[in-house]
Chain A
Amino acid sequence: MTKIIEAECLTKVFPPSTKAVDGVSFSVDEGEIFGFLGPNGAGKTTTIRILTTLTSITEGRATVAGHDVKVAPAEVRQSIGVVPQEVTLDNELKGIENLMLSAKLQHVKKSDALERAGELLQLVELDGASDRRVRTYSGGMKRRLQLITALIHRPRILFLDEPTSGLDVQTRTKIWEYLKQLNSEGLTIFMTTHYLEEADQLSHRVAIMDHGRIVVSGSPSELKETLHGDVLTLEFSDGTADLTPFLSRIEDVAEVVRSGGAYRLKLPKVETALPGIVASVAAKGLKIKQMSLTKPTMDQVFLEVTGRSMRDAEEPQSNGMSHALVAGVEAK
């Protein structure tokens, strides 16, 4: 695999002494979707701005499509498409005019541009709206148009900064589909996100960033495997006695953590562990008040590596992967 993006000890200090990116190293293979995950302020946008030649490097080096971003920014710009966090379309121009303007700035021949614009508009289902002014578009339509203006020149790498932040679930899912489609045609995608689910669903590999550093990286399934299994959360209706020793002795229970009134049990082999737990608890005469089973999620990976949960003030995380086992049990 060709390494299409390489960063070595990338550091960015904003004067006087804010270290936004602190010695970050990673590489992205051609054809990959690489997700940069982290809470707001983790340094994701600064990293993407460095790679897209907008921000200078304090220390370290980065190459994009074989060109050093510091030495040959012009060459880098020829190989990339950039979708910034903000919508930068022109409201007074029509959809197609925005696309053709982008084509001009990317030196695409008009006939090629028209053909490519047709394809792209169809991909993101905007072909019916291309003759309307962008001011009449909904937020989701604008994001879709913004996405394809970055693709009119068939770049090798697409950079996306928070591509779906603030969008509703349907539009978000649609954008994921488009990105998967584009990736299957060979486009390398580098994206930042603070949606754990987005990183999980889309990325071949993920790097979790916190306080300017990469704390862990790997494929979403690798990262989840490091958690060693599912987590069972148990709450009992009676007693304040510490049941940790008792629960730890049950077969196939790897680890027990008591937090508040609940116990979190790590189960490497959930299928065999559950019957044993239920039986042991019943034998001891304990009454279960609540019980839920959680598959490993990126949430937990994040919790594990940073020591805190990734609460986002903007929107609650939708977590499609946890599910309740027992009726009447509250989902996580």
Chain B
Amino acid sequence: MISESLAIGGRAITKWLRNPFAVIAALIQATFWLVLFGNSFNPANAVSSSPLGGGSLGFFQQAFGGAANYITFLTPGVIGIVSLTTMSFMGVDVVLDRMSGYLDMLSTCPIPRTSIYFGAMLQNVAKAMATALVTFLLAFFVPNGLRLVQGFNGLDLAGVLLTFALLSLVFSALFSGIAISVKSTDSFFALVNFLTFPIMFTSTALFPLGFFPSWMKPFAQANPVSLASEATRLLIVKGSLSGAQVSSFAGDIIGLMVYGVLFGVLGILMAKNALRPR
């Protein structure tokens, strides 16, 4: 099963690398979020230009968990959003494979059905990871960009990468199942859009938890994008975690793993159902 999944996923990744239009589209989107949203919505601007609270940047620092600037706070959130939208930009490849008869062709090969799902998942993880990494690097170069905490070390970087990987896994587990199940690109985009916006706006990707009304807070806290954003923020804003920070980080990671398993089971069931003879 592993070799078949690798073959199926590998084919899609090769295809994607040779025709990287979708990657470029995802990166342009990430740039817009960072440069345009990151600068125009920067709450620090509002604070400093407000006739009331003139210049109280301490408030900002406090509300945004000590982030050096808004883009430092925003980057983990944008990575979450981009991982999510990557699924619609690139996850659609799987839908096209179904429409073109490619999945049928795979279904006549002597391979386990689940390898078709894992193959799809593998390509989506690879794509989401790639865009996450490039977005992370990009954030350093935009105006008023990402500033890592002093003493950010290799272990912190490993934690950041682990978080990105888990978040990619969570989304691809879900969206690969959806992509194999739907019969047209229209319904795929409709479903993805339907899911993307609530996930994005109930997360702490763009603003801290303190800004949410109390009825939204539980949703925001449980949101996988929030979990990944909070875990990454801990590492890039505080670094060298200790004590309570470690358990908070571990909690986020375990949360992501639980989502991964849940969505994985759901995705496998969806794919098996979609691929059985009917």
Contact A77 B108 (CB under 8 A): yes
User: Which of B4, B19, B276, B278 is A105 in contact with, Cβ under 8 Å?
Assistant: B4
User: Which of B7, B18, B107, B278 is A56 in contact with, Cβ under 8 Å?
Assistant: B278
Query: A55 contacts which chain B residues (CB < 8 A)?
Result: 277-278
Residues of A whose CB lies within 8 Å of any CB of B are: 52-56, 73-74, 77-78, 80, 82, 84-86, 88, 90-93, 97, 101-102, 104-107, 133
Of chain A, the residue at the smallest CB distance from B3 is A104
Contact B11 A53 (CB under 8 A): no
Contact A73 B277 (CB under 8 A): yes
Contact B107 A53 (CB under 8 A): yes
B186 on interface, CB distance cutoff 8 Å:
no
Query: B7 contacts which chain A residues (CB < 8 A)?
Result: 101, 104-105
Query: B3 contacts which chain A residues (CB < 8 A)?
Result: 104
Query: A102 contacts which chain B residues (CB < 8 A)?
Result: 109
Q: Is the interface of A mostly helix, strand, loop or mixed?
A: loop
Closest Cβ–Cβ distance, residue B96 to chain A (whole Å): 11
Q: In the bound complex, what is the Cα–Cα distance between A77 and B277 (angstroms)? A: 13
Query: A56 contacts which chain B residues (CB < 8 A)?
Result: 276-278
B244 on interface, CB distance cutoff 8 Å:
no
Query: A106 contacts which chain B residues (CB < 8 A)?
Result: 109-110
Contact B109 A88 (CB under 8 A): no
Closest Cβ–Cβ distance, residue B111 to chain A (whole Å): 6
Query: A53 contacts which chain B residues (CB < 8 A)?
Result: 107-108, 277
Given contacts A88-B101, A105-B111, contact A93 B11 (CB under 8 A): yes
User: Which of B14, B106, B110, B276 is A92 in contact with, Cβ under 8 Å?
Assistant: B14
Query: B105 contacts which chain A residues (CB < 8 A)?
Result: 82, 84, 88
Given contacts A53-B277, A105-B7, contact A90 B15 (CB under 8 A): yes
Query: A54 contacts which chain B residues (CB < 8 A)?
Result: 104, 107-108, 277
Q: In the bound complex, what is the Cα–Cα distance between A75 and B104 (angstroms)? A: 17
B100 on interface, CB distance cutoff 8 Å:
yes
Known: A84-B105, A101-B7. 13 other contacts (CB 8 A): A53-B107, A54-B108, A55-B278, A56-B277, A77-B109, A78-B110, A84-B101, A86-B100, A88-B101, A92-B19, A93-B11, A101-B11, A106-B110
